[in-house]
Amino acid sequence: MSGGGGGGCSIVWFRRDLRVEDNPALTAGVRAGAVVAVFIWAPEEEGQYYPGRVSRWWLKQSLAFLDSSLRNLGAPLITKRSTDSVSTLLEVVKSTGATQLFFNHLYDPLSLIRDHRAKEVLTSHGIAVRSFNADLLYEPWDVNDAHGQPFTTFSAFWERCLSMPYDPEAPLLPPKRIIPGDISRCPCDTLVFEDEFEKASNALLARAWSPGWNNADKALTAFINGPLIEYSRNRRKADSATTSFLSPHLHFGEVSVKKVFHLVRIRQVLWANEGNKAGEESVNLFLKSIGLREYSRYISFNHPYSHERPLLGHLKFFPWVVNEGYFKAWRQGRTGYPLVDAGMRELWATGWLHDRIRVVVSSFFVKVLQLPWRWGMKYFWDALLDADLESDALGWQYISGTLPDGREFDRIDNPQFEGYKFDPNGEYVRRWLPELARLPTEWIHHPWNAPESVLQAAGIELGSNYPLPIVGIDTAKARLQEALSQMWQQEAASRAAIENGTEEGLGDSSESAPYTFPQDIQMEENLEPVRNNPPSAPRRYEDQMVPSITSSLLRIEEEETSSDLRNSAADSRAEVPINVNVQQNARVTLNPGAAVLQSPHSNARLQQNNGATELRITAEDSTAESSSSGRRERDGGVVPVWSPPTSSFSEQFVGDENGIGTSSSYLQRHPQTHEILNWRRLPQTG
């Protein structure tokens, strides 16, 4: 039955908000009358970030749950296969007679661009478009420092989030029922997420994971009633279920982060009243984890190329080792370092890795193998069940030392020591590396030191059934020092060339790009011709701030996308990312109608951005939390240091038994490290 009568209904466009509870776009659609719920599968739009096998498996299950819930409420989910979401939306509008479109915000660069285009195109066809925040506690443009500037370190950002004058909105209840729009002329497409081969590989996933919004809810409740209270003590245990396992649910928006926040805060108040300090501390740390997810979107919004370029500009001069043999050995878990290999085999077999092991394997990748971090990031993207562009980029940038508060670049963690720290009994290694199962714990994390008799008794022949270390740590350390010297020399040469006027400027941190600041993506606040603007509609509070772009960007993207696809089919090395320079020829412009919405500091920001802004590093250990470093004693327990008020970032690592000890004076020696480039917050339009 159609209650919409074919006219005046609303399209609710689902993307990574696959839930009926606390879904502001759905709530708005239901309030407005009849609803057509739509999901468009257009993975080619993601270019090289075509979702990986396990991620697609999750999506398939999640959509089935969503469809079933929506049907129970009165309207099925219409699924569409497309290569151009915006054109498909337009078709759905035409075939259903819809007059409104509602959707929730996403913050990765491709979505920002696509969503802005959707607004422009649909508005120009007379459709009212409204968008909402359903993915974050606070919109990125609402969290600024005292001067209206975006924060550049996690701790300052998170502190501000926690002290915002208003709390994140309370979560919305699911609708009681949905009046369906007329879908008689809008048939579903069958979506294919996995081929037969992939189906077989995916079969085991369902034993360990239960996608879907109601399962996400159960997982959240189970975590809050269980491991949360001991999160502060247990969260680093790589081999046990001590964290929430919410990341894939959160990625697909099966549970809202606002709901997570509110439920966890309620528990915190309860524990505070009971005087349960450990519980309170656990909540603080768990909320910081949620804060890192928020920060990943914040970084992506403010640095739309952060998944492609280091944020610290000098790293474009780092001579990465382009060695596909190393890359393959890392992927296959055959580096000769048991903890790294166990992690990589777990990732390959299950699509999952504990945060600590992610840090270990990624750190080994960039510091010991010195492979380009974007390769690792792309492999994680392909392999992780919770693959999330913003979190993936934040994690890799942090590990690579390319963020102002990232790890020190010349710090190398030794997997042998990390092994005894995170897997003291070797159980994790034995589970994932059966060839080492009989090796005594004493040697489990460094079999190359084991006496021949011990190896023989364990059935291990190094170099035959388990590899010798692919690179010695001492060699890696020396090579890293040499590479860093090269980097600084080149950086200095570049600066000198600029000062001599033989080069135009410094600002693009992409490794192989010219130094010239890419003029094409500069904001042109007042230059956008009026004719390019969508019919002006008053901006609503919940409207997303999105970039206004020229069609040249979209055209380039499309061209790149199709060639990427051709390459990936033909090239067995398709996992090596192709440098998609979408920024080339792209011009980001600002809708003059929106200029009035800009903060009064926007000009100052622009000037600051165009120069290489000097940033003082505040001492903190962001994404990581994860890092094994920077701890101090508090209340008798060892807890990570997030923002010690006095010590410098580098001081945190002094005496860190985990690192190889070169790091303490690194920043003092290289103050340029503080320069952050690509500080290109996307301009904002209503």
Closer CB to ligand FAD, residue 408 or residue 491?
408
Site for ligand FAD in 481-540 (CB under 6 A): none
DSSP codes of every residue in 576-601: SPP---TTTT--EE--HHHHTTS-TT
Q: Is 157 in the site for ligand FAD (CB under 6 A)?
A: no
**Among 89, 224, 250, 667, which residue interacts with ligand FAD (rule: CB under 6 A)?**
250
Assess contact for 138 and 168: CB atoms under 8 A. yes
Closest approach of ligand FAD to the CB of residue 430, in Å: 22
452 CB neighbour count, 10 Å cutoff: 10
Binding status of residue 384 toward ligand FAD by CB under 6 A: yes
CA angle 221, 222, 225 (to 5 degrees): 85
Q: Is 77 an interacting residue with respect to ligand FAD (CB under 6 A)?
A: no
Quick check: 678 binds ligand FAD (CB under 6 A)?
Answer: no
Given a contact cutoff of 8 angstroms between Cβ atoms, the answer to whether 77 and 517 are in contact is no
Type of residue found at 527 = L
Q: Is 282 in the site for ligand FAD (CB under 6 A)?
A: no
Q: Binding residue for ligand FAD (CB under 6 A) from 544, 591, 618, 623?
A: 623
Q: Where are the alpha helices (DSSP H) in 141-276?
A: 154-162, 196-202, 205-208, 213-225, 231-234, 247-251, 257-274
Report the distance separating Cα 562 and Cα 219, nearest Å.
Answer: 39
- Least Cβ distance, residue 478 to ligand FAD (angstroms): 25
Task: Report if residue 392 touches ligand FAD, rule: CB under 6 A.
Answer: yes
* Contact residue for ligand FAD among 55, 247, 400, 589 (CB under 6 A): 247
629 binds ligand FAD (CB under 6 A): no
Note whether 414 and 661 are within 8 A (CB): no
> Shortest approach of ligand FAD to residue 223 CB, angstroms?
7
Among 233, 341, 331, 354, smallest CA distance to 635 is for 233
Does 660 contact ligand FAD by CB under 6 A? no
* Shorter beta-carbon distance to ligand FAD: residue 179 or 299: 299
Q: Is 340 in the site for ligand FAD (CB under 6 A)?
A: no
Q: Interface mask (CB under 6 A) for ligand FAD, residues 347-366, using x and -?
A: --------x--xx--x----
Please report how close the Cβ of residue 626 comes to ligand FAD at its closest, in angstroms: 5
User: What are the residue ranges of helices labelled H in 452-601?
Assistant: 452-457, 473-499, 551-570, 592-595
Binding-site size for ligand FAD (CB under 6 A) equals 30
| 177: helix, strand or coil | coil
Q: Please tell me whether residue 411 binds ligand FAD under the rule CB under 6 A.
A: no
- At 39, list the tokens: 């999901």
CA distances from 115 to 84, 107, 129, 206, 547 (A): 12, 10, 10, 32, 9
Among 35, 78, 179, 387, binds ligand FAD (CB under 6 A): 387
Q: What residues form DSSP beta bridges with 659?
A: 413
The footprint of ligand FAD on residues 179-238 (CB under 6 A) is 235
Least distance (Å) between residue 251 CB and ligand FAD: 6
> In angstroms, rounded to a whole number, what is the distance separating the alpha carbons of residues 515 and 506?
5
Task: For the CB of residue 374, give the shortest distance to ligand FAD in the complex, in Å.
Answer: 12
Cα–Cα nearest to 133, from 44, 23, 50: 23
Residue of the chain from 102, 298, 330, 396 that contacts ligand FAD (CB under 6 A): 396
- How far the first Cα of the chain sits from its last, in Å, is 36
> Quick one: 398 or 517, whose CB is closer to ligand FAD?
398
Q: Which residues bind ligand FAD (CB under 6 A)?
A: 235, 243-247, 250-251, 289-290, 292-293, 296, 355, 358-359, 362, 380, 384, 386-388, 391-392, 394-396, 399, 623, 626
